[in-house]
A and B are shown apart, each in its own frame.
Chain A
Amino acid sequence: MTASTPGAPTATLSRIIAAGTHQRVLAFASLIILLIGFSIASPNFMQTSNMIAILQATSVNGVLAIAVTLVIITGGIDLSVGTMMTFCAVITGVVLTYAGMPLMLGVIAAVLTGALCGALSGTFVAKMAIPPFIATLGMMLILKGLSLVISGTRPIYFNDTPGFSEISRGSIIGDIIPSVPIPNGVLILFIVAMVTAYILNRTVLGRYCFALGSNEESVRLSGVNTDRWKIAIYALAGAIVGIAGLLIASRLNSAQPALGLGYELEAIAAVVIGGTSLSGGRGSILGSLIGALIMAVLTNGLRVLSVAQEWQTVVTGAIIILAVYADMMRRKKSN
């Protein structure tokens, strides 16, 4: 009896690995190890307020990572999510602060702007056959420029729209259960993650995401209108970026037009750490979520340990390489 006990968890583990979720399991295990490590290193780390700070810090990058995951699974890449997020925030500023419209319209404006920008990138990629890297690089600069132009390079504050900062900083959950004051921003992240995961795994749109990334020519030869689906996928990603725009604007209570560059790389990093293949056809929202969490925990933990900001960047870079290497080793073995 005693001899058989150690076998059981191994069997379960190998079954999980066989299910193709290896990288996600690995990422999740790393996350747990990080959490344990930091909490041993510093008693302040595990405090509820710090945990909530980590989640809050994950929310924007997490939502962006979810958006990028969709595009990466199709075999593409989206470099424009950072400045697109800012652009959406600026448009919301225009709608709410300049035009004084009601809050709901501002929310709709952000999501719609993102969807349109995404559809535009998608059109460049699908109809004009511009490689995604270039198309979204162009979009990244266009949107950065437009944000500055529209805002006159000055931040747009949301002081006239009292409810706006609640989008990210309020806590509906905390209102109901005061002991868990999880901010709305985090709640939104998880809702976005669940909805997107559902779309990805259960709908036609999601199926074509994987199919396009796996063998686009084959999908085309099967008589599927690949252009249309690709544009739809980029548009969905854009809409999700619009949500990220709302979150960051709400958190800062302002649209900061100069912000945004660099966010796309953080998002891509989270996606890669989460095990989504950059060559397309494979990936998961849960993975990207874990990836984003790992990055936030790392940044936070190192800060709690008073490690200089510069070193945090170095560590993040190393983690990315390690994560992808681990994935490569697994693939090599399984072949």
Chain B
Amino acid sequence: MTFLVEMRGIEKRFPGVHALKAVQFDLQPGEVHALMGENGAGKSTLMKIMSGIYPRDGGEMFVDGQPATPDGPRAAQDLGIGIIHQELSLMNDLTAAQNVLIGREPRRSFGRLDEPALNAKTAEIFASLNLAMDPRTQVGTQTIARQQLIEIAKALSYNPRVLIMDEPTAALNDAEINELFKVIAKLKADGVGIVYISHRMDEIKRIADRVTILRDGAYIDTVDAADTPLSKIIQLMVGREVTQNAPDIPDTTRNDVALEVQNLSHGKDVRNVSFSVRKGEILGFAGLMGAGRTEVARIIFGADPKDSGAIFVHGQQVDIRTPNAAVQAGIGYLSEDRKHFGLAVDMTVRANIAMAHLGEFTNRLGVLDEGAMNDTALAYIDQLGIRTPSDMQDVRLLSGGNQQKVVIAKWLLRDCDVLIFDEPTRGIDVGAKSEIYALLEDLAAQGCAIIVISSELPEVMRLSHRIAVMCEGRLTGILPGGAATTQEQIMELATQRDTASVGTEDVI
């Protein structure tokens, strides 16, 4: 049979990195083919070659059995290959519709735009996605999740025969993921071939037909998703067994309270939130996207103002109005949106790690001590397993997951008493995930108070000593961590709406 797309012996080198070594991949019509591998394994690179963004250094590619070498996104689109990129790439100043149909705007004569047609066409696509959004919404004002949905709508608007999804669910909540999976099922039925990249293992079982595994740029195997246990896939990915077991929850009830928040309020986003974290404790924050968890963190960190409420660090009331003040008070915050807030992507790994802490690396004249920075950077690269040819590599060139590790390194260096991790493992592979879990547990054991915001329930349950659940800006409850709490209990609190219209249909 002829494949929709077939790639053989694909080679790709970047300066200092042999990103793909004789990799093969094929795709049949109407299948979901998952592409798995650790951070930096080369998944995105392979897909960028398929979609004409990078040229390949060697190997062959066939579309419908015909040799094909798409030399740009447009050429790939003409072959019917569409891609949803891992990093959001939307035009924030434009509306949703203007983004979705960029390059194919309905036109009148003389290059005039047909704006009503543009909006109508986009509305249709949104409707097919069950996405309630005005096509005229400005993209920059939307949450990451909704921006991701706009990206998906954009990719679908090309009517692709091959659709590559590079971690499309990294920012979506469960309901949105379900919507996406419905769309995927529909596309499958229409004979579209889908390449699916994700670090969420459970999704693979749910939607993939076949799984191809890459490790360190090399092709490992292609297996049938239904017949292969996840543990086997994970083992193929990381080349060793990964233990996922959580350690016992330590008793921290007698430790000092490191951070206490009383009646924090800010508009509708945060309403009367009170909680405390003790030294050595990991407090998880669960809730649906938009429940106000990030907002709470940003207020504590001084990135957003509060309307009312009090914050105490080690029993002392503090008045934090800027992130700088927060850091002075010993509070660190790792943003969920690393591209915008967490990293200077055009600077090196070393510079980024040292960034928040340059004072440590200067001599009395204010001259930077590159040697010391180098040592520190290498230590963290080693500790976190950051995959980079050297600490002088630009962060922009690292794979998504490795960028996230750089952010973590940066904050670990600050030596904060209270660390707030907002979606710390978004886009991070299973192996690195368990490393990061171990790291957080280590930090807690050393006396750090840790807050983890995560939309992945298994993650919150795995990590937290206690679980705070938020819904619509309110803290709806705090549950014990570990086996004492079930997913259902958390979901119930996470959907405990204020109004009478509490409905189970929202839960999904």
Contact = CB atoms under 8 A, between A and B. Distances in A.
A204 B105 contact: yes
B72 A210 contact: no
Contacts of B91: 210-211, 214-215, 218-219, 281
Interface in A182-229: 202-207, 210-211, 213-215, 217-225
Contacts, number: 68
A221 B53 contact: yes
Interface string B76-112: 1100000001000111111000110011010100111
A214 B103 contact: no
A216 B91 CA distance: 8
A218 B105 CA distance: 15
Nearest to A283: B93
A282 interface: yes
B290 interface: no
Contacts of A206: 113
B497 interface: no
Contacts of A217: 89
B73 interface: yes
A214 B99 CA distance: 11
A211 B101 CA distance: 12
A204 B102 contact: no
Contacts of B314: none
B188 to A, nearest CB: 24
B91 to A, nearest CB: 4
Contacts of A214: 91-94
Given A202-B113, A223-B73, A223-B103, A282 B93 contact: yes
A210 B92 CA distance: 10
A221 B107 contact: no
Most chain B CB within 10 A, of A202, A210, A214, A218, is at A218
B89 A223 contact: no
Nearest to A218: B89
Interface residues of A, number: 22
Contacts of B110: 203
Interface in A27-51: none
A87 B99 CA distance: 39
Nearest to B89: A218
Contacts of A207: 94, 98, 102, 105, 113
Contacts of A281: 91-93
Contacts of A205: 111
Nearest to B107: A204
Given A202-B113, A204-B113, A223 B77 contact: yes
A213 B73 contact: no
Contacts of B77: 223
B357 interface: no
Contacts of B107: 204
B74 interface: yes
A321 B76 CA distance: 47
A203 B110 CA distance: 8
Nearest to B77: A223
A217 B73 CA distance: 11
Contacts of A211: 91, 94, 98, 102
A214 B76 CA distance: 24
Interface string B453-472: 00000000000000000000
Nearest to B151: A218
A233 B112 CA distance: 15
A72 to B, nearest CB: 13
A222 B73 contact: yes
Contacts of B154: 222
15 contacts: A202-B113, A210-B91, A211-B91, A211-B94, A211-B98, A215-B89, A215-B92, A217-B89, A218-B91, A218-B99, A222-B73, A222-B154, A223-B73, A223-B76, A282-B93
Interface of B: 53, 72-74, 76-77, 85, 89-94, 98-99, 102-103, 105, 107, 110-113, 115, 154
Interface of A: 202-207, 210-211, 213-215, 217-225, 281-282
Q: Which 6 A-B pairs have the closest CB atoms?
A: A214-B91, A223-B74, A281-B93, A218-B89, A214-B93, A223-B73
Given A204-B107, A215-B89, A281-B92, 16 more contacts: A202-B115, A203-B113, A204-B112, A204-B113, A207-B102, A207-B113, A210-B93, A211-B94, A211-B98, A215-B91, A218-B90, A218-B99, A218-B102, A221-B73, A223-B72, A223-B73
